[in-house]
Structure 1
Amino acid sequence: MKNQSVVIVGGASGLGFTTAKLMVTHGATKIGLIDRNEALLSSSAAELTALGVEVATAVADISRAETAHAGFDAIVEKFGRVHALVNSAAIYPRKAILDITDEEWDLENAINIKGTYHMMVAAVRHMRQFVNAPEVTGRIVNITSVDAFKAHPQNAHYAATKAAVVSLTKSFAQECAKDQILVNSVAPAGFATDRAKELGFLPELAKASALGRAAEPVEMAEWIVMMASSRNSYATGENVVISGGYIYV
């Protein structure tokens, strides 16, 4: 990631922010954070700035094309060039399959599918301008989930959106290959975020995993950084499952 500029959607907290900090240790010099939580954006940006990198932030509703694109473009205006996009924004509800309302379906689709799509479109339009650049052209990494492949009670609408993002990743990879933009996704099993601890499923996950434990967020971030960096020179349209032996796809 040396001397590269990165935009992380959902980057103010959780896996997105963990990835941002790890990218700094791998040499990224410009980090753009897009999130809907302005207060968190401010504190996270301050923490990254203290590490010695240039930071840009944008508060954006990624469910709408115009606001999603405006957020990305604002960061491009400050940085001049973005080498990689990480789509980490998602909502993770829990509800019995027979009780999901239309409004809950619409919100899940708007953030997890449409939001990811809008941000990818914004990134591709920018990155394709540099198709003949001598250095890395563009990398896009979407965060999916093992739930796209393994059924979970009270999680059907979330799982369906993550399966859709796997499909989007493959489609974008095919269409963007000519522009030297590599598009991949990373599919974690549950890992030890505050939200996962609150929901209480980590002990059950640990028992079902071959390694006997849940992952730490940084262990997932390492894979995201690799796929977003110039070290990835050939993988595109891939969905990398990182589950500690919880599922084999």
Structure 2
Amino acid sequence: MTTGTTELEGKTAVITGGVKGLGLAISRLLAERGATVALIDIDEAGLETAVSSLGGRGRAHGVAGDIRRRADAHRAFGEAAERLGGVDILVNNAGVYPRKPILEIDDETWDYVFDVNLRAMFHMTVAAARHMQPRRAGRIVSIASIDAYIPYAKNAHYAAAKAGVISFTKSFAQELAPEGILVNAVSPGPIDTPNLRQLGIYEDLARSTPLGRVAAPEDIAEVVGFLAGPRNRYMTGETVIASGGILMA
């Protein structure tokens, strides 16, 4: 993908869950626009491959970490900030999508989904906010989902966690606005990833989308790129819906 802009030259970005799918597409777009990026992920082997694909060290860095708990999340952010020499952008992309009927959701599944999709977002955003406050500038973008608005079978726990992402986005935006930190979210519809294709519902989702196709990861990365970049000067506390027309708000 060629973006034709270097608007992020000299900027630095941290992307969680950045080694594949949407996370890698976001990492690649930000890097192509000039940013130096740090990918935080639990998949150490995947980090090496992703960093290499983004141009190797100097342009991209990998930080291994399980960000579900405060101490490790803050450690991982601090290590990324040290390698980058500071952080201008945080993208909370890490997420899991285990489907299960609502009456079968046990505590273990509930905790796992909320830990990865919501608790990690909270810890990373707190770490980024504390880092960005003295700089009085920064961009934080989190990945939510249209599932937060539309009930789908087997997705109740995921939907609730993503609704929490939207709520936290508003709260962080309100508190951090006086310090020049813009906090927004993106709610994608279905995205063409290996995980989605393995669920066996890809064709049905494509047919039911008004635009007639499932989003490419790059489609959603473009929205993130705007929110994280200098052209966004006045949007904060917003959740941009990018669903191909499935949800029109």
Q: TM-score range by the shorter chain?
A: over 0.9
Q: In the alignment, which residue of structure 2 is the partner of 1:46?
A: 52
Letter paired with 1:116: M
Q: Percent same amino acid at aligned positions?
A: 43
Q: In the alignment, which residue of structure 2 is the partner of 1:123?
A: 128
What TM-score does the superposition give when structure 2 sets the normalisation length?
0.95
User: Does the CA-based 8 Å contact 2:148-2:160 persist in structure 1?
Assistant: yes
Q: Distance in 2 between matches of 1:200 and 1:45?
A: 30
1:31-88 residue CA offsets vs partner (Å, 9 max, x unmatched): 10000000000111111125x8522221111111010000000011122211100000
User: Does the CA-based 8 Å contact 2:31-2:59 persist in structure 1?
Assistant: no
Root-mean-square deviation (CA), in Å?
Answer: 1.1
Q: In the alignment, which residue of structure 2 is the partner of 1:2?
A: 9
Runs of 4+ in 1 over 4 A off after TM superposition: none
Q: Distance in 2 between matches of 1:174 and 1:97?
A: 33
Letter paired with 1:158: Y
1:107-131 residue CA offsets vs partner (Å, 9 max, x unmatched): 1111111100000001000011111
Counterparts of residues 197-208 of structure 1 (less than 5 Å): 197-208=197-208
Q: In the alignment, which residue of structure 1 is the partner of 2:39?
A: 33
Counterparts of residues 31-180 of structure 1 (less than 5 Å): 31-50=37-56, 53-131=58-136, 137-180=137-180
5+ long unaligned stretches in structure 1: 132-136
Q: Distance in 2 between matches of 1:244 and 1:55?
A: 31
Q: Distance in 2 between matches of 1:87 and 1:53?
A: 22
User: Does the CA-based 8 Å contact 1:34-1:71 persist in structure 2?
Assistant: yes
Letter paired with 1:5: T
5+ long unaligned stretches in structure 2: 1-7
1:78-101 residue CA offsets vs partner (Å, 9 max, x unmatched): 222111000000110011110010
What TM-score does the superposition give when structure 1 sets the normalisation length?
0.95
Aligned length: 242
Q: Distance in 2 between matches of 1:168 and 1:115?
A: 12
User: Does the CA-based 8 Å contact 2:37-2:84 persist in structure 1?
Assistant: no
Larger mean Cα displacement after TM superposition, 73-82 or 147-156? 73-82
